[in-house]
Structure 1
């Protein structure tokens, strides 16, 4: 899943080397924490959150067939 998020996000940003994803997992859920350069945060979120919503939709769809845990994507800087 981390690879999928990187594949989606890196072409969108000016600082692809600073894209970092951490995973926080427990028995019922997985949270992918996406860290980007502060100047790239707006590009990843998009107008009215449309890009972030699209990223989450793709990840949620892929995760539903991959495992049974609730999956979340948080965008941080």
Structure 2
């Protein structure tokens, strides 16, 4: 699932080398902490948070296929 998140984010940002994703596993719960370059933060969040919401929706759907609860935190 980390590869899916990396793929999605890399296609949205202008500096894909600055992407940092940390995976934290707690039983069936997985939390991804996403960090991108400061210039790309607006591209990830989008207007009114729509892109961030859709990224989280896609990751939750991927987690449901594996019976896991997935969340994505976008960090500064």
Do the two structures share a fold, i.e. TM-score over 0.5?
yes
Q: How many residues align?
A: 76
Secondary structure of residue in 1 paired with 2:14: coil
Q: Unmatched 5+ residue regions in structure 1?
A: none
- Cα distance per residue 1:1-49 (max 9 Å; x no partner): 1100011111111110011110111124210111101111110000000
Q: Unmatched 5+ residue regions in structure 2?
A: none
Q: CA RMSD in A?
A: 1.0
- Give the TM-score normalised by structure 2: 0.92
Displaced runs of 4 or more, over 3 A? none
Per-residue deviation, 1:69: 3.1
- Give the TM-score normalised by structure 1: 0.91
